[in-house]
């Protein structure tokens, strides 16, 4: 490792968290860890951190996948001193000390870049790294240090990144950044659609065609627009929709209600123009089909609307962090300082595996329709288990609900145990994990909508995804019989197996009468 180069006067210093991450990565590197993953919340400063890291190495390659990220990264590395090289379009600049490369361009010219060319390779938005294109590019290089950067340690398909980056060097997630003042605090408004949905899965998320058909309805769209008009009339922000047509329908409906709005999509020829106009405040709402979860940096927005459900924590967390950026100069859209942002989530019935915003702040209650007017909550007043339990009681079959008084139901739920905490394993390079997935694993993955024909699966990859699935009804029933709360808490199969082992070790016997009294449908 080279000695630190003198910083350019234009290069901003690192704040406390960035400095801690830098010291940890360099310490692990000196100890022989050459493939590291750094998890840092959106808005905390991953690119500036990468510029400082590059000063410890002779030649650096910084990999991105969007033009917006390319331009942002070039501007950041220029503050280091000198002009960065570029691999994009017709350019393949390899002589500069720092090169910013576009993965879609680089994958077609790997033969022109020697594998040992760079001492440091940094992969931005590394949760994409297990896709075939990204993995081909990353595995081509043999740097002294490989670093993956992401706001989450998981891909959108549920697979861990630690089979490519073998050490989780540093983790600083969105709740910690809000707590420490690096991001503004959300105010949260969950609004029931009173609409039961049944949507099939395609891999780690819902089937896009089914999802768009289910949520792009006049009634649901009107509720979304009406909610923004009532609770966020003076806020500027983004709405995440279920497909391009859904985004267009929502934008048109906003305009019909006197709220200036535009929709934007990936191939939109006016994409850059719309983003800039929205940044300047020329219109209030920008709808998109999950386009703006990455490579989108606009600290002037203070409103985010999740207009579609998702089962992917990675996708949700990326969207949730976008309006959280600090506005260090200027004012919000209504002329006031930006001190918080409003996060609106439309909650449909029947989707127990959907991600809920409160999970990112340590509250893991399952959504049940509370049958009362929506209210804005702060992080200091999250939904309680009793509220979730009361709503769950209201959804019981009428005959069963009549036989179980609410007070008794709440008392039963209060005595149930929460799921064991989830712990991310950082030792994944065991031999069996690299072996091909079994036929049973592939069959289960296929049954849940994962591509097993054109995707290469190892035992480790398959195990991680399967363990992250929702427990089966039989597993839920057994957990409840053992005294665990499967009525108001979300579980994974990994947590279920851990709870089964703990109960067996403690000699706890299942009480099936508890299941018959609280959730008899799980026994059918």
Give the separation between CA 341 and CA 238, rounded to whole angstroms. Answer: 11
Give the separation between CA 137 and CA 132, rounded to whole angstroms. Answer: 9
Q: Residue 231: CA atoms inside 13 Å, Cβ hemisphere, count?
A: 26
- Which letter does DSSP use for residue 522 in this model? G
- Quickly count: other Cβ atoms within 10 Å of residue 96's Cβ: 15
Band of the pLDDT at 234, cuts 50, 70, 90? very high
- Which letter does DSSP use for residue 297 in this model? -
Give the separation between CA 429 and CA 309, rounded to whole angstroms. Answer: 34
For 436-486, the pLDDT digits (tens) are 889 999 999 888 888 888 777 888 888 888 888 889 889 999 999 999 998
For 331-379, the pLDDT digits (tens) are 999 899 999 999 999 999 888 788 999 988 888 777 777 677 888 999 9
Give the separation between CA 175 and CA 231, rounded to whole angstroms. Answer: 24
**Residue 2, exposed/middle/buried by CB under 10 A (0-12, 13-18, 19+)?**
exposed
Say which residues have a Cβ less than 8 Å from residue 427's Cβ, sequence separation at least 6.
none
pLDDT for the residue 389 = 83
For 259-307, the pLDDT digits (tens) are 999 999 988 999 999 999 999 999 999 999 988 888 788 999 999 999 9
Band of the pLDDT at 426, cuts 50, 70, 90? very low
pLDDT for the residue 105 = 93
- Quickly count: other Cβ atoms within 10 Å of residue 440's Cβ: 10
Give the separation between CA 424 and CA 434, rounded to whole angstroms. Answer: 18
Residue 507 Rama label (left phi>0; alpha psi -120 to 50; beta)? left
Closest CA to 172 of 389, 51, 16, 27: 16
Q: Residue 167 corresponds to which tokens in the numbers above? A: 């050490």
Give the separation between CA 101 and CA 98, rounded to whole angstroms. Answer: 10
Closest CA to 164 of 149, 176, 174: 149
pLDDT for the residue 427 = 44
148, pLDDT greater than 60: yes
pLDDT, mean over the chain: 88
5, pLDDT greater than 90: no
Give the separation between CA 115 and CA 113, rounded to whole angstroms. Answer: 6
For 113-139, the pLDDT digits (tens) are 999 999 999 999 888 876 788 889 999
pLDDT for the residue 431 = 64
Task: Give the largest Cα separation in the chain, rounded.
Answer: 77
pLDDT for the residue 195 = 87
Please, what are the domains in the chain? 16-172 (3.40.50.300), 179-382 (3.40.50.300), 416-523 (no CATH)
Say which residues have a Cβ less than 8 Å from residue 336's Cβ, sequence separation at least 6.
none
Phi, psi for residue 495 in degrees, rounded to 5: -65, -35
Give the pairing of strands 340-349 and 185-196: parallel
Give the separation between CA 39 and CA 214, rounded to whole angstroms. Answer: 34
415, pLDDT greater than 50: yes
For 390-413, the pLDDT digits (tens) are 877 877 777 778 888 888 888 888
Give the pairing of strands 91-92 and 85-88: antiparallel
Choice between 461 and 510, residue whose per-residue pLDDT is larger: 510
């Amino acid at each position: 490792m080279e000695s630190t180069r003198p910083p350019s006067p234009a290069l901003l210093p690192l704040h406390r968290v960035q400095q801690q991450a830098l010291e940890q990565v360099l310490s692990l590197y000196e100890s022989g860890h050459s493939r590291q993953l750094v998890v840092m919340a959106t808005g905390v400063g991953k690119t500036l951190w990468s510029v400082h890291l590059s000063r410890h190495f002779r030649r650096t390659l910084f990999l991105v996948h969007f033009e917006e990220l390319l331009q942002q990264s070039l501007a950041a590395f220029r503050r280091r001193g000198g002009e960065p090289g570029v691999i994009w379009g017709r350019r393949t600049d390899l002589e500069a000390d720092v090169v910013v490369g576009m993965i879609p361009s680089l994958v077609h010219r790997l033969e022109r870049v020697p594998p040992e060319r760079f001492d440091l390779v940094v992969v931005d938005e590394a949760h994409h790294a297990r896709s075939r294109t990204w993995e081909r590019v990353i595995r081509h290089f043999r740097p002294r240090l490989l670093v993956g950067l992401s706001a989450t340690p998981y891909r959108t398909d549920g697979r861990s990144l630690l089979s490519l980056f073998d050490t989780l060097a540093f983790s600083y997630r969105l709740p910690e950044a809000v707590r420490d003042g690096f991001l503004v605090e959300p105010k949260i408004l969950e609004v029931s659609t009173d609409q039961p949905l049944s949507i099939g899965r395609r891999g780690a998320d819902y089937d896009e065609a089914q999802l768009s058909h289910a949520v792009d309805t006049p009634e649901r769209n009107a509720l979304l627009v009406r909610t923004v008009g009532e609770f966020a009339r003076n806020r500027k922000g983004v709405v995440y929709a279920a497909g391009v047509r859904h985004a267009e329908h929502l934008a048109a409906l906003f305009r019909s209600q006197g709220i200036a709005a535009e929709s934007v999509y990936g191939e939109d020829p006016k994409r850059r123009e719309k983003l800039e106009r929205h940044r300047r405040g020329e219109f209030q709402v920008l709808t998109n089909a999950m386009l703006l979860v990455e490579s989108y940096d606009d600290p002037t927005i203070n409103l985010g609307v999740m207009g579609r459900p998702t089962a992917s924590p990675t996708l949700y967390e990326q969207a949730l962090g976008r309006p959280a950026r600090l506005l260090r100069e200027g004012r919000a859209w209504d002329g006031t300082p930006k001190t918080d942002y409003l996060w609106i989530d439309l909650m449909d019935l029947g989707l127990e595996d959907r991600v809920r915003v409160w999970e990112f702040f340590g509250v893991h209650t399952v959504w049940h329709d509370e049958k009362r007017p929506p209210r804005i909550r702060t992080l200091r007043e999250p939904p309680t288990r009793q509220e979730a339990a009361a709503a769950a009681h209201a959804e019981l079959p009428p005959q069963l609900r009549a036989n179980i008084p609410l007070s008794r139901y709440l008392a039963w739920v209060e005595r149930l145990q929460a799921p064991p905490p989830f712990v991310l394993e950082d030792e994944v390079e065991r031999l069996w994990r690299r072996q091909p997935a079994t036929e049973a694993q592939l069959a289960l993955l296929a049954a849940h909508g994962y591509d097993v024909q054109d995707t290469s699966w190892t035992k480790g990859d398959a195990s991680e995804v399967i363990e992250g699935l929702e427990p089966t009804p039989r597993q839920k029933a057994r957990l409840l019989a053992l005294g665990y709360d499967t009525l108001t808490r979300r579980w994974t199969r990994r947590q279920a197996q851990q709870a089964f082992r703990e109960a067996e070790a403690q000699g706890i016997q299942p009480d099936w009468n508890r299941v018959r009294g609280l959730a008899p449908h799980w026994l059918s």
